[in-house]
Structure 1
């Protein structure tokens, strides 16, 4: 199960007004998890759909009309000891604040963000809406493990003329989620579309950025590929990122490379975590420009990273009809090591020596 609108009933909402944020927790219509699981498909669909509507928010707004909004994605993961913990919410909170300010709206404080995420997950868990750890997940390195996906997002006040938001809402919804990418071949293709341009909003997790990503990913799927990869807008030869993920290349020289950050690349939390984990095991890890030619000449392994993607190995990459197959189409040793270390920390199998996991229950 990938993303879904089967949201949990407790929702967080904050409103900016008069230089301050007011907060509330809304408990939407629900039954017990067991009762909901036993409902007919039609009745459950109606109940689930009702949790996605808010009668007291404007339909016509700067968000709905112009895509003026930003969002985050982070996970609370069931722990092997029975608990539930969120992966690095402080970093998501910092990025969300920066995104809001980057769109010239009031920034939502990172400390409020973390507290709201923890409390929203905790309240839903108290009602029984949460996944529990299963030892069977360890067999495939947690690639199909369950977790709670949190989607914090901004929503503007009503407005119809092209303008900026001065009094936004911040909402946090939570849903159950497992694997983001479907099973089968993990082949990727370089898209001709341009995701972000210099001096634009590529570094912001802005809603509008994902229109191009959605189009390019759909084109990739129709071509039989799992993922698409974007090149830079200026020279059209340097890798930037995937449709909703950062990208890494492990070269034959032993260097792990990911495109350097700038105003066209999203600063991923999983990205920075993988860089740290790789350096911990003395892998030369660089943040720099990396071209199509360099990857096709020296690429040994490739993987994408993100909250949803985790660490997902890419078996091949196609560009202008040319194809490179990484590690004979098998998951590389370094890709597997980094994936297993990250997942082990997230699900409480490995000790969290970095303080990345924030306990919920």
Structure 2
């Protein structure tokens, strides 16, 4: 019978990591390397719908080598964070938007849509049981990774008849190593991320796997991230390997590439647009050509650029490089508006500022 409301059976870890060991690890958690004691799991099948919701000790899952995900890549995921407030509480930021995007990704990948109450319930339950894993360091958070995979044991190109939805949690510090004030990005001229009609707007693993050669090229060139151009004209800036892009001009206006189906509709992106409009700034969602980016940076018309996403929050772009391109933006470091928008966003996420849009949910 399909679950109509969150009802999670809870199995506590018999031997959770000792508090002293956990606290020592949380002093410098990095990103994506540490994991909490528990995980959430819900199953789906054509016969039963969503069923068997549970919170259980984190550990390996048994998988048949003929599981559909291993051969046809039916897989989607999300990323969001839980934050510790100054009074010891715990908040989530725009989790309902993640639930909506998870359903949108599922539709694009011919997977069953997970009801919002199950998505949100799995997050709340897992955070509640592993709340002590949220780092207390400055900028610390608990990164949450919901994902769904096709689990039917079958070789054939068709939507799976069985799926496994899970959530794991990872204590997080800074996304970029060294806490650099800005990043350098590399323009990919040999790879594209997504094409019209493709899966660019879905958060599926294949998009990220396809970006890895370009990201490796960027690292080899001494850059932090890759910038992808559109697949049709190879001219317009789309997004970084895992983040949306913004441009700030000398008249105080900001611009970001439009959502035409090839760019992931970032929740941080949408939040930045809303905060900018709150300040009365002129906001444009329009294409921006790479040659215009360089010309505007060199003329001084472009004052700042930044990337944004759940993991990295808001990250200044200080330099842009390519095979025939090398230019700096502003003073090469964080800009005034970039810093202000980031500070406003973080303050709302952590319950330190008013939340006029109702984005924050206090769960503990």
Cα deviation, residue 162, structure 1: 2.6
Number of residue equivalences: 326
Aligned partners of 1:323, 1:253: CA distance in 2, in Å? 24
Corresponding residue of 1:41:
none
SS at 2:69 equivalent: helix
Corresponding residue of 1:21:
50
| Mapping for residues 1-361 of structure 1, pairs under 5 Å | 1-17=29-45, 18=47, 20-28=49-57, 51-55=58-62, 57-125=63-131, 128-132=132-136, 134=137, 137=138, 145-157=139-151, 158-183=153-178, 184=180, 186-192=183-189, 193-298=191-296, 299-361=302-364
Aligned partners of 2:303, 2:275: CA distance in 1, in Å? 19
Aligned partners of 1:337, 1:174: CA distance in 2, in Å? 29
Segment of structure 1 superposing worse, 305-314 or 290-299: 290-299
Cα deviation, residue 351, structure 1: 2.1
Whether the 8 Å contact between 1:69 and 1:206 is mirrored in structure 2 is yes
Cα deviation, residue 317, structure 1: 1.0
Whether the 8 Å contact between 2:74 and 2:111 is mirrored in structure 1 is no
Residues 258-314 of structure 1: CA deviation (Å, up to 9, x unaligned): 100011110000000000001111111111111112211222210001000100001
Aligned partners of 2:215, 2:352: CA distance in 1, in Å? 33
Aligned partners of 1:229, 1:52: CA distance in 2, in Å? 35
Q: Taking structure 1 as the reference length, what is the TM-score of the superposition?
A: 0.86
- Point out where structure 2 has 5 or more consecutive residues left out of the alignment: 1-28, 297-301
Whether the 8 Å contact between 1:10 and 1:25 is mirrored in structure 2 is no
Cα deviation, residue 19, structure 1: 5.4
SS at 1:343 equivalent: helix
Aligned partners of 2:247, 2:68: CA distance in 1, in Å? 39
- Point out where structure 1 has 5 or more consecutive residues left out of the alignment: 29-50, 138-144
Cα deviation, residue 238, structure 1: 0.4
Corresponding residue of 2:19:
none
Give every structure 1 segment of 4 or more consecutive aligned residues whose post-TM-superposition deviation is greater than 4 Å: none
Cα deviation, residue 5, structure 1: 4.4
Whether the 8 Å contact between 1:12 and 1:23 is mirrored in structure 2 is no
SS at 2:227 equivalent: strand
Aligned partners of 2:324, 2:68: CA distance in 1, in Å? 41
